[in-house]
Structure 1
Amino acid sequence: MFSGSAVTGILMIAVTMVLGGCGREGQRPIGYPAPMPDSVAMRFLPGVVSDDSLDFNSAFSPDGKRFYFSRSGKGKWIIYVTEEQNGTWTQPAPAPFNEPQYSQADPFITADGTLYYISNRPRDLADSIPDYDIWRVRPRADGSWTSPENLLAVNSDSTEYYVSLSANGNLYFASNRNGTLGSHDIYVSHYANGKYTTPENLGQAVNSDKMEHDPMVSQDEKYLIFTSVDRADSFGSGDLYYSVRNANGTWAQAENMGSKFNTDTYEYCSYLTPDNRYLFFSADYDVKWISAQQLPWFK
């Protein structure tokens, strides 16, 4: 989601063999709308998703039939969903788990349909700290959702936002909690023995004395894309950067993703589709997409 001075907290089939385990096993085909992008980023579903409002975030359901995103309205963030019906995507409606008096944004959906998101709703009646936490809901067989669950092991009394999970459940997110190198850093909480561990800062290869947020980790944790603000090599105020995991498990020094992805404005909210065909991101108040073959590690 947006950060900084704007708003705080917003592979084609031919490369499947290259990515190996990056994709989600059992993912059903997604009915992408035409025209589909190649080497130039395009607005996604103009008039449906990319409309005359601040639209950001991207998340497809496991069956590829629903697309979730966030929209700003009436001073709050709201998660919307549009459905593919007979080749047409419906006008979006607020997702049913939104709490109208609070903000919800940054949806991420796992292969089993669990939806993670952020909200400034209080954890309980005693919670008076106006921060954003990570929450999740699970789908029921009848199409409804379970009650929102706060990820207490991950959240702090500061803001946590923009969730991305690897296939093994490790959870990446951004936070402005104590101990950051800059104003906001990227963290990971490892999933072990059915529990989330104490979050760890990804360190200086990824984080800087500036602001890093909106991490997107590949399913096999080999690649990480994120937004960083006002670095010396930036094209605009906020750019997309990437880091590749080294053989020893550490992250390589982050690099700018270049002019195919970044402009003189602000790019954020990166998302790789479950079938690895497209990279989505947000910019210019819209949701955009581009062929994943344009990603730097294929050049």
Structure 2
Amino acid sequence: MKKILLLLLVFASTQLFAQKQATIAFEKNLTSPEIFIHLPEFKNINVRDMAISPKNDEIFFTLDAPKNAFRTILTSKKINGKWSEFSIAAFSGNYYDIEPAFSPDGTKLFFASKRPTGKEKTPKKDYDLWFVTKVNGVWKNPIRLPETINTDKNEYYPSLANNGTIYFTAERADAKGKEDIYKSEFVNGNYQTPVSLGTGVNTKTYEYNAYVSPDESFIIFGSYGRKGSLGRGDLYISFNENGIWKEAIHLGKLINSNQIDYCPFVTFDKKYFFYTSEKSTIEPMYEKMSFDTLKEVINEGSNGTSKIYYLSFEKLLKSIQLE
């Protein structure tokens, strides 16, 4: 009897420990994008935008409640080779927080937030850019970027270069379209006046969610309404030649769908490409539909909720050369 009880205790503790592991795997030979983040506790919830640390040992991403009712940043950390269970980031969970991004040296984590500023207690109506640093191993003490960057309109999706230059999306009077992608150089500890990127990137339509490589050799971003667009928003890449962003290239059908595709990210070692999509494989009609099949169709795979996908960055680059 004691042996049975001992076995039951061992099994229970093993199951409990297993439940505390986040399901995170990096498949090397993907031929098409696969869903990266799995949250069994949240069925049909939206997840969007993610960041992986330069050492590939921390992950941050946004959980987005239906109809954007609340947004918060979740995290997992690799400890002794295993990913910890997902939890709310130490600096998040109280206000609308989205779009985490590491500085290339890994010392800062930037994000967009509607949290109140100064002595205000009411959350803002627009998003500002903030960052946190680690204190005794914990990311905390959010600091709002200066007024050079933040305005009374939205600033989104920070992305950092090696030299400290920050790229972001904003609604500004000098924008070429409704929203443009801007950059602000970091000189002598101060952010300079943001500049809208050239027409190789920005157009008279919408541009959004720009990821820039740390060496500023390429930028991947979303745009809506361009000629040849497949849907509600596609992803494009532009290469930097002698300081000029060349005409953007559509990332093709391997990535883009007839729904919105957004939030690009490339790991610091350039092995993997991540993005968010609201694509769906649900068909408009079925000949036979059992209840079990219905559950599978609605709950599994690409079902129209925003999900984070990934594949080899090398595979992505090869795919656009073939199109």
TM (norm. structure 2) is: 0.76
Following superposition, the deviation at residue 158 of structure 1 comes to 1.0
The Cα shift of 1:169 comes to 1.0
Structure 1 runs (4+) deviating above 6 angstroms are none
Of 49, 52, 77 in structure 2, the residue corresponding to residue 57 of structure 1 is 49
Deviation per residue, 1:239-292 (Å, 9 max, x gap): 001111122x11111121111111111110000001110011001211110101
Aligned to 2:309: 288
Between 273-282 and 58-67, the greater mean CA deviation after superposition? 58-67
1:234 corresponding residue in structure 2: 229
1:138 and 2:133 matched: yes
Query: Does the CA contact (< 8 Å) of 2:132 and 2:141 recur in 1?
Result: yes
Q: How does 1:166-177 map to 2 (within 5 A)?
A: 166-177=161-172
How far apart, in 2, do the equivalents of 1:94 and 1:287 lie? 18
TM-score normalised over the length of structure 1: 0.82
1:157·1:177 contact (CA, 8 Å) conserved in 2? no
Conservation of the 8 A alpha-carbon contact between 2:98 and 2:112: yes
SS of corresponding position for 2:30: coil
The CA deviation string for residues 164-196 of structure 1, in whole angstroms up to 9 with x for no partner, is: 111111100001122211111100001111211
Q: Which of residues 213, 216, 226 is equivalent to 1:218?
A: 213
* Count of residues in correspondence between the two structures: 266
Partner residue of 1:20? none
Superposed counterparts of 1:60-209, under 5 Å: 60-73=52-65, 75-98=69-92, 100=94, 102-110=95-103, 111-125=105-119, 130-140=125-135, 142-152=136-146, 153-209=148-204
Shift of 1:88: 4.1
1:215 deviates by 0.3
Any idea what the Cα deviations from partners look like across 1:124-161, whole Å, max 9, x if unmatched? 23597521100001112x11234111111211121000
Query: How far apart, CA to CA, are the structure 1 residues paired with 2:140 and 2:246?
Result: 39
Change (3 A) 1:184 1:283: same
The letter of the residue matching 2:62 is S
Deviates more, 1:32-41 or 1:57-66: 32-41
For residues 216 and 51 of structure 1, what CA distance do their matches in structure 2 show?
A: 28
Aligned pair partner of 2:33 in 41, 45, 56: 41
1:237 counterpart letter in structure 2:
R
- Residue 64 of structure 1: CA displacement? 2.0
Letter in 1 for 2:38: P
For 1:243, the aligned partner's letter is: S
- Offset of 1:218 from its aligned partner? 0.8
Structure 2 Cα separation of the partners of residues 243 and 225 of structure 1: 7
Q: Using a 3 Å threshold, how does the CA distance of structure 1 residues 41 and 51 change in structure 2: closer, same or farther?
A: farther
| Superposed displacement of residue 205, structure 1 | 1.8
Aligned identity (percent) is 30
Q: Structure 1 residues 127 and 183 mapped into 2: Cα distance closer, same or farther (>3 Å)?
A: farther
Higher normalized contact order (CA 8 Å, seq sep 6+, divided by chain length): 1
2:164 and 2:182 map into 1 onto residues whose CA distance is 14
Query: Aligned partner of 1:296: which letter?
Result: L
| 1:274 matched to 2:268 | yes
Partner of 1:3: none
Structure 1 gaps of 5+ residues are 1-30
Between 1:66-75 and 1:279-288, the stretch displaced more is: 66-75
The 1:46/1:92 distance shift into structure 2, 3 A limit, reads same
Cα distance between partner residues in 2 of 1:179 and 1:81? 36
Q: Greater CA radius of gyration, 1 or 2?
A: 2
Gap change, CA 1:186 and 1:50, over 3 Å in 2: farther
What is the alpha-carbon distance in structure 2 between the residues aligned to residue 127 and residue 200 of structure 1? 32
Could you say which structure has the higher helix fraction? Answer: 2
Q: Which whole-Å CA distance do the structure 2 matches of 1:241 and 1:215 have between them? A: 9
Deviations 1:81-106 (A, max 9, x none): 02234554333111010151x20010
1:261 aligns with 2:272: no
